[in-house]
Amino acid sequence: MNEVRYTEITTEEEGQRVDNYLFRLLKGVPKSHIYRLIRGGEVRVNKKE
């Protein structure tokens, strides 16, 4: 998956951990891959690593 995705969270999702949010958003993607993306700096929140 070499694409940039932008998403805005709702007030219900606010305060949720990033990994849990991504698990729900990226159904079918292995947790190990999501953790690798986070650790590798590929996930940004408010345009920051």
Q: Quote the pTM value.
A: 0.75
pLDDT tops 60 at residue 33: yes
From CA 5, how far away is CA 24, in angstroms rounded? Answer: 15
Instruction: Quickly tell me which residue has 């729900």 as its tokens.
Output: 24
pLDDT tops 80 at residue 21: yes
Confidence of residue 49 (pLDDT cuts 50, 70, 90): low
Confidence of residue 48 (pLDDT cuts 50, 70, 90): confident
Q: What is the mean pLDDT of residues 42-49?
A: 81
Number of neighbouring beta carbons within 10 Å of residue 20:
11
